[in-house]
Structure 1
Amino acid sequence: MCMCNVQSTEQNVVGSASEDREILPAALKPINYDLWLQPDLTSFTFDGTVAISVSVHEDTTKVVLNSKELTIHKATVTQGDLKQTATSIEFNKAKETVTFEFDSVIVAGSSAVVYVEFTGVHNDQLHGFYRSSYNDAEGNKRHLVVTQFEACDARQAFPSFDEPALKATFDCTLVVDADLAALSNMNEVSSTAFVNTAGRSVKEVKFARTPIMSTYLLAFVVGDFECVETVAKPAGANPITVRVFALRGSASQGEFALGVGARTLEYFSEYFNEAYPLPKCDMVAIPDFGAGAMENWGLVTYRNVALLCNEATATTKAKKGIAYVIAHELAHQWFGNLVTMSWWNDLWLNEGFATFVGWLATDHLFPEWDIWTGYITGVYTNALSLDSFRSSHPIQVDVKSANDIGQIFDAISYSKGSSVIRMLNDFLGGQIFMDGVRTYLQEFKYKNTVTADLWRHLSASSGLDISTLMHGWTRETGYPLLTIENQEYNDEEKTLSVTLSQSRFLAAGDLKPEEDEVTWWVPITVVSHLTGKSGATKHVLAEKNGTITFPYDASEGAFWKLNFGASGLYRVKYQAAHVAQIGSLLQTNLSAFSAGDRIMFINDAYMLSTAGLGPITSALDMIKALALAGESEYNVLSQIKTTLDALSSSLYREDAATREGVKQLGRLVFGDKVAAFGYDFPETEEYFARLTRSLVIEAAASAGVESVQADLRERFDRFVAGDASALHPEIRGIAYVNALATSDAANVESVFTALLAIQANPKTQDSEKNEILRALGSANSPALIDRLINVILFDKEIVRMQDFMMVLIGLVNGNNESAVIRPLMWQWFKNNYEKLRSLYHNKSALGGPFRACAMTLIGDDSSAEVESWARGDGLEGEELETRKKDTVEGYYRAVDQTLESIRTRTALANREKDNIAAWVASNF
């Protein structure tokens, strides 16, 4: 599953051993499900029957299945000639189970069939067998129904053994209205039309039996869809029918995704050396979808924006996003679906691996995109950021119950997981890594595994003890900081010996001895003026202290640095003289270092300052040096903007002169570049030219370059007046934000109204709708902000539930009046908490709005107030218990991470504000 908005504590509320898990009794194991479902798109209910063939491993008089929000009408069990009806049916709401009691023993050593009749509800909560709404071409409101079962919501569609290790085959039948498309994991084998008892024309659609698989991968889609189709032709394997489904009238927007999907299936068939085992692969665009996409075997579901685009007008970022999400989900068809984790504590094995090879496939399909440099700014630094909190968690985290799973679909499982795999792939070499993955898949296809199984196969392919080497990376929280303690040059041998130490890096900086007991196995790459970018030397630090030696001389312009290309998951603290040398060299020889290395110079310098391990001026000097050297590489400029935005965000309570000084640095970097790039986007333009033009326009406007703000506003006014060519799609979102942020009180409401009108137009692409939702929070009008957060945000005709967070993030990050907006949004969260509780059925999901509204606050007073609220201070009785249950069980990780973020950034601001002011005064 791909989470579009993926964002711990020393308190461990989850189990620490497998016997603590809330799992079903071992008496019965599923073999096959014969499932019949009849959805109703008018009443939003469905009828169903399921006959589960089971093997009986222990004598029992009980059948315990997972069931949630289902009404059970009848349950029987048949073993041989004996058929029994359940004498009692008992639900355990907390454990999400139903228990059927029978008079006679179900005898071990043979098989049986458990049969259940039930009804359920097509909810609007984006999980289970839920409903989604849309307006058709005539403006009529219509519905479709779709499933989202990961992690534990198959139990909302049918009683089941809803655990990943309890695999079975599925024979599925859907009864739907005759004019609707019905899709499932497998190909349709028959469709029988008839008129039902209510006089409606319906059809019964039967699908081929699935391979053995986990319940969370089963899927159904029913609605008015059409498709585009092609055939993937993997070398040496059967052809695969590939289809992209979209709502009627939209299928042509799936052409780009169709080509990407077919080529990706061909690539993975070769990479994994294992044929895709299903005859077809359908990809379906869903208007309402909580995650970015879901890897259901043979029926992959996506948000519209993650699958559909108009190739002629889609932005470069939109195409890149679509390509990656498709690659991520199709990687799961092998790594996750064919071979599946045994339990949710190995979720990272699914998601971290799919993230890494998803980018691998994207790089294969689009080498001109320089994927791995972009990976550093988009994935790798995200992992470093979250895992620098003591409230982070290990990649492999013990999970006790279904209620705990939602909190680990985060940047640790996805970003850190993939970064660790990328580091291992780089160290072992791509061929050795791939060989281990291939034998792993061969041994465990159609089975379940744990992380140790993958390590065993990689050990066999590499000859190294991978399990021991990787323990610290997967079973411990955090990552190391390598500190350069000493360097000694040997002129005779022309070598440099560098003494290093490793310690856990904490963003807060206050590392305690008991928090620094882990010793990581750290693969180190060193690049120097002698080796060049292609000849980096490799070393390992496997102790707390060690020395590495590499070729070096003391010639003019000599340099060296660790972690070439950011291949290792660690930070580096150089000695002050070395930092100054690097800064000087950048101004005279920018190309001496790779773009990835320049990115990490900035990122490391900034994060070391947050930890109090270096002055913030090191980061500012580095950015200025790059600006004066004419830095023009997109990914480096993107990191500069990200860093300046983060610094500004931490200074919003400081004096205006200090904040303006940070903007001045932004203007130095980006101000002159807009004139060089202009606002036009030639059709044949190179990929990075388009991205860089958009970035420098956005950064210059954000930094207050008045000429750019005026140009964007003039173009926006022409665009709203009907001149579509005035704003290229690549910069429309930027212009929307600028128009709202720079409008005076007399004009801001007309701009706001115009954007809402564009957003409501059925012809507006989903990607542009999202840009508008994010932009609305930039309005500099208290009245409009009040309307946005108290009316528009809760209007599901304007803001789909999946897009709720976009509005919140746009408000707290996109509004210039941070000192007003951020406390306002925290107050709004508290005032609307009960409303949000009813909106978010899964309480772990409440961590999203909580984090958005609280994490950007600054000040000791703010952290104390947020902590008090989370504890439930001032509440009593049931209200207090509810608050504790929500925050301690539902989203405690979000609470801890938010508090740590507030305190860390507050300490940075308090410690560095005078230094920043002095630096600004001496540099501008």
Structure 2
Amino acid sequence: MGKGFYVSTLVLAVAIIFSVAAVSTIIALAVVCSQEMAKNNDVAKPPEGTTTSSTKPPEKTTTSSTKPPNETTISNNSTSTATTVQSNDPWNKYRLPKTLTPVHYDIELQPFLEKNAADLYVFHGKSTALFLCNNATDLILIHSNKLNHTKFNNFDAKLMDGSREVALKNTFFQKDKQFLVVQVAETLEAGKQYALYTEFVGELADDLAGFYRSEYRERNVTKIIATTQMQAPDARKAFPCFDEPAMKATFSITLKYRQPYKAMSNMPEISKELVVENGQQWMISKFDKSPRMSSYLVAFIVSEFEAVGNPANGTVTGVQIWGRKQAIVEEKQGEYALRVTKPILEFFEEYYNTPYPLPKSDQVALPDFNAGAMENWGLVTYRETALLFDDQVSSIGNKERVVTVIAHELAHQWFGNLVTIRWWNDLWLNEGFATYVEYLGADKAEPDWNIKDLIVLNDVHRVMGVDALASSHPLTSKEEEVNSPSEISALFDSIAYSKGASVIRMLSEFLTEPLFVNGVASYLKGFEYNNTVYSDLWAHLQKAVDSQVIVKLPLTINQIMDTWVLQMGFPVVKIDTATGTVTQKHFLLDPDSVVTRPSPFGYKWIVPISYKTSSKVGNNIWLQKESDTVNDFKITGSDWLLVNLNVTGYYRVNYDDSNWIRLITQLQSDHQAVPVINRAQIIDDAFNLARAKQLGITTALDTTKYISADREYMPWQAALSGLSYFTQMFDRTETFGSMKKYMKKQVKPLFDYFAQVTGNWSTRPVSLTDQYCEINALSIACSYDVEECLKLASDLFNAWMASNSTNNIHPNLRTNVYCTAIAQGGELEWDFVWEKLKQTDIAQEADKLRTALACSKEPWILNRLLEYSLDSTKIRRQDAISTISSVVNNPIGQSLAWDFVRANWKTLFSMFGESSFSFGNLIERVTRRFSTDFELKQLLKFKTDNQNPGFGTASQALEQSIEKTKANINWVNENKAAVKKWFEDAVRKSV
């Protein structure tokens, strides 16, 4: 799944974060995350119609009672008789027993896209689940959630042994664990196949999960879509199934629908028939049988969408981009996605050394979608902002998001779909791998962008901020530690996506890409159509290493990588250039925090170290213990040492004071002597080391003195990210006045430079990163009240209001122009943008307008926007959390949003708490500025007051916010005087 929003994400788009009022923040140009999702695997591909299990199943399973406990009933047309709950009953556990394995599903679904007499949209379904009995048992557990089942002779299912109906003892529902429990009157035989038949009705709700409803308006007509989002545990909301990733099976899907709708599923349509039922005409589409795959990858859509591209023809893979007719046919918004999909698919076929596994690749833009995108096999679904692109309206950031999300999802068609993780505890392997190779796929489609470098900003640096907390967690965990749906959903975080990508990139770098690719191809071939655990990949990579003599490793891949996978966090590598001593230590943003999570390696890592001096590039070395001595690290005179070239290693670097001074001096005298990625690294490491009290705060600030001379995006973005923390901590204090003057002085040369090279903002720079740097220049300059910037934004916005045409505002500049104008204006400007938001049908433009609405300085207007966020007739449900987050980014709106979240927590939790992968982001963002004892008390009280309903997928984020707030309090108290003096001195010296 695309990181999204974890996200995420996280995953992410170009987010331009303004702190309006006196100030603020900038772009967090991160790139997708297509918020994707996980897979599993057995051992070797079995013959069709059989399955294998890598774990020895238990002996015969029998039921301990013939009647269900009354507290397990749900409104599934079932009744139950009270009995004593047996805690060891299989239906009181989240995981399925190993006694049964699905082989094939025949599924027929009929969505009704008009409301029924109860004012609901519903779908009817029929399902036959063919399964293999591995061990004798008289119990069938199959997932079913929020489905009202038809009764057959008082049972909610029929069980067939060939043509013979097998007698049942009882059927009931376990609501908490989401099981249909079938107790059989006879013992099922090991090695034999049976078929479980059910009929059911479900609601096509707008909850963005399972089989759900999306709506849009076209030509003033409301159009309904029936679509799916199964990951992680929501296939059970569409049809009864063995809803675990290792329970792979084949699927035959049939959809029944009314014209003029169209139907699509994972596989090509093989037949279409028109029938009449109750005087109404219904079209029946049957789709080809799928390969073995996990239930969370099943997808089907009934819509009035149109496509651009070519369908499958039997010899050539069909590639089509689907979406609203106006967007696809009239506005040609699918053309860019179509153009980049073919080279990305071809790249991955070569990279994986495996042909694309299916006959088609349909990609669909949905108006309502919870994640960024979802890698359903052969039928990938996206938010409109992640697939559609309009040259007249979409920015360069929108374009990058489209190509990287597509690359992320297509990467999963092999790594995740063809070979799938066994259980969700290894989600990081699925999402981390796709996040890493999305940059490779995007680079193939846009070779002039040099996009691969951006992983350092978007993923490595970003996730280090989370992974440096004592409340972080390892990449993987034991299977038994991940059970409930909310526990599964909580795994879709920046650790899985961005840290996973960072350590896989590090692995690829020290192995070399050819060896890495050979090992991955071997892994895919060895486990195709099955499931794995992460160590299976290590084993195949080790085979690639053992087959050659060039790359030498100090230990096995398993020994090296387990230090990065099985313990949370990462090291700071400290070098003393006087002695050559190098040490490693667990890096924590708050050095006073207590780490309670045990580590199998004592928080020591096997660290690959690359380095250069001002005169030479050295050979890579390995730090295998807590401390060592490297002669090349002894530096004399004016020479300097730089460690972790291009930030290929997942660690921070600290030096002795003398080397810091030499590096800063080099930046100020000739910054181009330091590679651009490492200029960003020096700044980012310095600010984070200062927050962790491992480096003086003034040294970190000194790294920004040269920045007014730099014209590259990455160092500027690193500086802005580091300084954004100062903004968050001090923009409500007197310290901010001097900081504002300093930032205004530093950005003015950058602003003037881009004003000149763009002909006063009339043309765009050529390269991707230059365009991003131009956006930053405008964003920072307007945020810090550079008069020319404020006038530019005001003039462009006023011309728009006068002419009612945005043609004079380039899409790259719109978010900044809109935000600045609303911040300077009042209700008139806000209402104008609100009307434009209601009128636009281009999702990327809607995002820019919606973000800008949060820039107002009027508290009552911001409160109005917060109220709108929970009204789906005004703000789409999928955009509620990001809208609240936009208000948080405004210093004036932060406290308003915090009050709003507390007052509406139960509503927010009911909407997003159990399934939304971005829900945790809300807690993180709304508490980001907390730095006082009073705010900490509020946060702790919020935790206490909301134990019921709880925090769901935001539980981890809440604990991290408490930890961050405590660290912020200490940091501000210790550094506010020094920070105030540094900015005052810096401004004074520049006058």
TM-score normalised over the length of structure 1: 0.91
Q: How does 1:755-774 map to 2 (within 5 A)?
A: 755-763=833-841, 765-774=842-851
- What displacement does 1:91 show? 0.9
Give the superposed CA RMSD: 2.1
- Report the alpha carbon displacement of residue 643 of structure 1 after superposing the two structures with TM: 2.0
Distance 1:653 1:784 in 2: 20
Measured after TM superposition, the shift of residue 553 of structure 1 is: 7.4
Residue 697 of structure 2 corresponds to which residue in structure 1? Answer: 616
1:646 aligns with 2:725: yes
* Structure 1 residues 685 and 231: CA distance shift in structure 2, 3 A: farther
Partner in structure 2 of residue 5 of structure 1: 5
Match of 2:905 among 814, 833, 848: 833
- Asked whether the 8 Å contact 2:312–2:360 carries over to 1, the reply is no
Contact 1:733 1:768 in 2 (8 A): no
Match of 1:262 in 2: 342
Deviations 1:649-672 (A, max 9, x none): 1213422xx112222232222112
Pair 1:754 & 2:832 matched: yes
Q: Which runs of 5+ in 1 are unaligned?
A: 8-17, 489-497, 873-879
Give the aligned partner of residue 157 of structure 1. Answer: 238
Q: Is the 8 A contact 2:712 2:770 kept in 1?
A: no
Find the residue that maps to 2:272 and give its secondary structure.
strand
CA contact (8 A) 2:264 2:301 kept: yes
Letter aligned with residue 111 of structure 1 = Q
Q: Distance in 1 between matches of 2:280 and 2:746?
A: 66
> How many Å apart are 1:401 and its aligned residue?
2.7
Kindly provide the CA deviation profile for residues 7-44 of structure 1, in whole angstroms up to 9, marking residues without a partner as x: 6xxxxxxxxxx999721122211100011110111132
Match of 1:559 among 640, 660, 677: 640
Larger deviation: 64-73 or 798-807?
A: 798-807
Residue identity in the other structure for 1:38: Q
Q: Which one of 566, 572, 576 corresponds to residue 475 of structure 1?
A: 566
> What SS does structure 1 have at the residue aligned with 2:391?
coil
* Alignment counterpart, residue 442 of structure 2, candidates 357, 362, 366: 362
Distance 2:603 2:561 in 1: 12
**1:110 aligned residue (192, 199, 209):** 192
CA contact (8 A) 2:578 2:634 kept: no
Which residue number corresponds to residue 129 of structure 2? 52
1:524-535 equivalences under 5 Å are 524-531=609-616, 535=617
Are positions 1:240 and 2:317 aligned together?
yes
What is the identity, as a one-letter code, of the residue corresponding to 1:857? F
Partner of residue 782, structure 2: 701
Residue 858 of structure 2: aligned partner: 781
**Residue number in structure 2 paired with 1:206:** 286
User: Do the aligned partners of residues 559 and 231 (structure 1) sit closer, same or farther apart at CA in structure 2, a change above 3 Å counting?
Assistant: farther
Residue among 457, 476, 499 paired with 2:581: 499
* In 2, Cα distance between equivalents of 1:501 and 1:220: 54
CA-CA distance at 1:312 after TM superposition: 4.4
Q: Are the structure 2 counterparts of residues 289 and 513 from structure 1 closer, same or farther at C-alpha, using a change threshold of 3 Å?
A: closer
Residue in 2 that maps onto 1:851: 924
Distance 1:169 1:520, change over 3 A: same
Pairing partner for 2:984 from 917, 921, 924: 921
Task: Please state how far the C-alpha of 1:466 moved relative to its aligned partner.
Answer: 0.8
Indicate the residue corresponding to 1:216 in structure 2: 296
How far off its partner does 1:112 sit? Answer: 1.0
Counterparts of 1:552 and 1:403, CA distance in 2: 51
**In the alignment, is residue 61 of structure 1 matched against residue 138 of structure 2?**
yes
Deviations along 1:178-223, one digit per CA (max 9) or x if unpaired, are: 21110100000001012221x3322100000000000000001111
Give the equivalent residue in structure 1 for 2:165.
Answer: 83
Measure, in 2, the Cα distance between the counterparts of 1:853 and 1:257.
34
Mapped to 2, the partners of 1:710 and 1:581 lie a distance apart of 40
Is the Cα–Cα contact under 8 Å of residues 256 and 285 in structure 2 kept in the other structure? yes
Q: Deviations over 1:707-731 (max 9, x none)?
A: 2112211111111222433311111
Instruction: Tell me which moved more, 182-191 or 670-679.
Output: 670-679
Confirm or deny: 8 A CA contact 1:634 1:688 kept in the other structure: yes
Identical pairs, percent: 32
Q: Is the 8 A contact 1:510 1:611 kept in 2?
A: no
- 518, 522, 527: which one aligns with 2:607: 522
Distance of 1:542 and 1:841 partners within structure 2: 42
Name the amino acid aligned to 2:407. Answer: A
Structure 1 residue aligned with 2:103: 31
CA distance in 2, matches of 1:256, 1:852: 33
Aligned to 2:712: 633
2:14: which partner in 1?
none
Q: How far apart are the structure 1 equivalents of 2:930 and 2:690?
A: 19
In structure 1, what is the Cα distance between the partners aligned to 2:6 and 2:605? 26
CA contact 2:639–2:662 (8 Å) conserved in 1: no
Take 1:479 and 1:419, find their aligned partners in 2: how far apart are those partners?
11
Equivalent residue, structure 2, for 1:893? 956
Native 8 Å contact 2:728 2:928 kept in 1:
no
Amino acid aligned to 1:332: H
Structure 2 CA distance for aligned equivalents of residues 382 and 128 of structure 1? 31
In the alignment, the residues of structure 1 paired with residue 731 and residue 774 of structure 2 have an alpha-carbon distance, to the nearest angstrom, of 28
Amino acid at match of 1:122: L
CA gap of 1:81–1:803, structure 2 versus 1, over 3 A, is closer
Aligned to 1:14: none
TM-score after normalising by structure 2: 0.85
For 1:100, the equivalent position in structure 2 comes to 182
Report the 3-state secondary structure (helix = DSSP H, G, I; strand = E; otherwise coil) of the residue aligned with 2:703. helix
Deviation, structure 1 residue 85: 5.4
- 1:494 paired residue number: none
Q: Give the direction of change, closer, same or farther, for the CA distance of 1:774–1:654 in structure 2 (3 Å limit).
A: same
Q: Which amino acid aligns with 1:66?
A: H
| Shift of residue 425, structure 1, vs aligned partner | 0.5
Checking the alignment, whether the CA contact within 8 Å between 1:609 and 1:908 is kept in structure 2 is no
On the 8 A contact 1:232/1:266 being kept in 2, the answer is: no
Moved more, 308-317 or 432-441: 308-317
Alignment length (residue pairs): 872
Displacement of 1:61 = 2.3
1:577 to 2:658 alignment: yes
Contact 2:471–2:959 (CA under 8 A) maintained in structure 1? yes
Q: Is the 8 A contact 2:613 2:640 kept in 1?
A: yes
Does residue 271 of the first structure (1) align with residue 335 of the second (2)? no
- Cα distance in 1 for residues equivalent to 2:873 and 2:309: 32
Give distance in 2, aligned partners of 1:80 and 1:787: 62
Q: Structure 2 unaligned segments of length 5 or more: list them.
A: 8-54, 59-87, 116-120, 151-155, 547-552
What SS class does the counterpart of residue 721 from structure 1 fall into?
helix
Q: Is 2:528 aligned against 1:445?
A: yes
Amino acid at match of 1:444: F
Render the CA deviation track for 1:447-497: whole Å, top value 9, x for unaligned.
100011001011111235111111121110110011124534xxxxxxxxx
Q: Is residue 805 of structure 1 aligned with residue 885 of structure 2? A: no
Q: State which of 501, 517, 522 in structure 2 corresponds to 1:434.
A: 517
Segments of 4+ in structure 1 off by > 4 A?
18-21, 230-233, 511-516, 551-555, 843-846
Determine whether 1:420 maps to 2:503.
yes
* Offset, 1:536: 4.8
Contact 1:240 1:279 in 2 (8 A): yes
Deviation, 1:798, is 2.4
Q: Which amino acid aligns with 1:426?
A: E
Partners of 2:986 and 2:763 lie apart in 1 by 37
Q: 1:734 to 1:232 in 2, by over 3 A?
A: farther
Shift of residue 350 of structure 1? Answer: 0.5
DSSP 3-state at the match of 2:632: strand
SS at match of 1:52: strand
Q: Counterpart amino acid of 2:521?
A: R
Select the residue among 484, 502, 505 that pairs with 1:401.
484
Helix, strand or coil for the counterpart of 1:369? coil
Q: Name the aligned partner's letter for residue 831 of structure 2.
A: T
Deviation of residue 5 (structure 1)?
2.0
The corresponding residue for 1:13 is none
Secondary structure of 2:260's counterpart equals coil
| 1:513 CA displacement | 8.7
Report the CA distance between 1:238 and its aligned residue.
5.4
Task: State the shift of 1:60 in Å.
Answer: 2.2
